[in-house]
Structure 1
Amino acid sequence: MQNQSKKLVHKSMWGERLVEIYDRDDFRYLYFNSRFLQSKMSLRSPRHLALPYTRYMMLSLFFVPNPKRILLIGLGAGSLVRYLHEVLPESKIDAVDHSEQVIDLARGYFHLPDSARVSIHCQDGVDYIKRNRTNEPYDLILLDAFDEQGMADGIYSREFFELCARSLSPSGLLCCNLWSGKPEDVQNISRELTLLFPGQLTCNVPQRGNIINYSLPYSVKWHHFSLLRRRKKMLRDRFGLDYDSMTTKLIKNNLGYLEQMLLLLLG
């Protein structure tokens, strides 16, 4: 962020980690150690999902358009909580983060909703889901547990994915943001998810290192892709996201060339 117009809003230490919040033009940024971007928010429109990977995580709403209960593991600055709280007024959201400091920053600087429909839990994600297994299942679980070193080891693990599988409703979905400097780590995680969830889709976020995984407790069939193409305008109008380009990317990532051509011909 080499720009003279940026304004330092907050600076503190979290253990040995430097935490900084900057404003520049219309956006507010959360950085770790001055160079690792953790979150970005539009000051004029806080609901807007400014980072591309968060928008791709919302492809989940095609498969689960009306989730009643949502669980987020990894709060960050609360981008997904802000968005889901506004576009899904009937939903209840549990958001879990192990850092009280991160939660305080989200509340103090990033418009984290103060709402009876949003519950924030300062807790380890594995411990939280272990203790809540007997409660009503979740329709949507979103996993975005990251810091500047990458994915949280204890969260992106077989044990945690098994807990998620048991905590989902029969038509629910687990959406994982995968990113690592080591491709073999992503491959290992994808392999674990495949063993637990019959339905597997992935989507590379354009011009980013993120891979979004969508895991479902049922197999994804041809008609799902056909419905996705037909309903993308409805999704765009309802959720305010560019479902045209995201749908195209998802189809290209999960169907071969001949299947894509057949899908176009058959509509």
Structure 2
Amino acid sequence: MPLAIIPRILKKNTPQLPEVNFSDDGPVRHLHLGSEWIQGSMYLDAPNALVHEYIQRMMAWLLFVPPESVKDRQALQLGLGAGSLTKFCHKELRMKTTAIELNPQVLVACRGWFKLPAENTRMQVVLADAAEEIQNPKWFGTVDALQVDLYDHEAAAPVLDSLPFYNHCRRLLTPEGCMTVNLFGRASSFARSVEKMSAAFGKEAIWAFKPTREGNTVVLAQHTPSRPKRELLMARAELIETKWGLPASKWVRVFKPMLS
């Protein structure tokens, strides 16, 4: 199917943003930002499911909290993408959920093409620059699950990947909170990114997955470092699989602390 294109929606004095479009590939719909790079995907017959392995791994913070407490926690996504994490946290986990997105066209696309629900008392999308919005004191200490997936239309490296940025991210988290970050791109450096996260969170707070086949590496940083026993992680993984259908037992096998 040829790419479908959404009209440009730009506020006065807004920097030029990439064109938002989508393509259908059999049962899957992909979001694009004016290029062939996939910025997110949705199963047409299961719009709340998580399509990509790396997106599923962005939920690994679930291993660090009691499953019965999840519905009382707050999730924050930096970058809306195709709305996958926002929909899952809101609809499946029943969490209070907020996404911060720079491009208003992405929000329109998510509502029109990717089944993102209208805003309500438990879900909202803030149109803002994430680098600026996360410095708003109203977010400090409120976020249990911070999910960072910030890429532009070229997908060459994370848009925000500095020590000050990760310092701001840590300030958002509750004591039990976790940040998960998708690292991908030809210009990105896993070692440099992890070094910055380690400086902000402490080396003992950093966990990492092995890369997916597509080359995405998900890194997790805890606000308060812990070393749950493998037995506890596996028990929680089984509950996560039963309750939400995520492959959490596999996570435990390919996920480890950077300092072990």
> Partners in 1 of 2:250 and 2:78 — Cα distance?
27
Aligned to 1:191: 195
203, 216, 223: which one aligns with 1:210: 216
Give TM-score scaled by structure 2 length. 0.85
Contact in 1 for aligned 2:163/2:199 (Cα 8 Å): no
85, 96, 104: which one aligns with 1:80: 85
97, 100, 113: which one aligns with 1:96: 100
Contact in 2 for aligned 1:85/1:113 (Cα 8 Å): no
101, 105, 111: which one aligns with 2:109: 105
Per-residue deviation, 1:228: 1.0
Contact in 2 for aligned 1:12/1:20 (Cα 8 Å): no
130, 135, 157: which one aligns with 1:151: 157
Aligned to 2:12: none
As a proportion of its length, which structure holds more strand? 1
Contact in 1 for aligned 2:157/2:186 (Cα 8 Å): no
**Percent identity at matched positions?**
25
Deviations 1:85-119 (A, max 9, x none): 12222x21110011111111111111112232111
- Tell me: CA distance 1:11–1:135, structure 2 relative to 1, closer, same or farther (3 Å): closer
- Tell me: CA distance 1:86–1:190, structure 2 relative to 1, closer, same or farther (3 Å): same
- State the one-letter code of the partner of 1:110: F
Aligned to 1:259: none
> Partners in 2 of 1:72 and 1:234 — Cα distance?
24
Aligned to 1:265: none
Give TM-score scaled by structure 1 length. 0.83
- Tell me: CA distance 1:156–1:242, structure 2 relative to 1, closer, same or farther (3 Å): same
Aligned to 1:125: 130
User: Gapped runs of 5+ residues in structure 1?
Assistant: 1-5, 257-267
- Tell me: CA distance 1:130–1:16, structure 2 relative to 1, closer, same or farther (3 Å): closer
Deviations 1:36-92 (A, max 9, x none): 111110110001101111001111111134161111100111010111112222x21
- Tell me: CA distance 1:43–1:145, structure 2 relative to 1, closer, same or farther (3 Å): same
> Partners in 1 of 2:216 and 2:146 — Cα distance?
18
Give the RMSD, CA atoms, in angstroms. Answer: 2.3
Per-residue deviation, 1:173: 0.6
User: Gapped runs of 5+ residues in structure 2?
Assistant: 10-15
- Tell me: CA distance 1:106–1:46, structure 2 relative to 1, closer, same or farther (3 Å): same
Aligned to 1:10: 5
Aligned to 2:225: 219
Contact in 1 for aligned 2:17/2:103 (Cα 8 Å): no
Bigger relative contact order, structure 1 or 2, given CA contacts below 8 A and separation 6+? 2
Higher mean C-alpha displacement, 201-210 vs 26-35: 26-35
The 5 Å alignment of 1:218-257 reads: 218-221=224-227, 223-251=228-256
| Runs ≥4 residues deviating over 6 A | none
- State the one-letter code of the partner of 2:88: Y
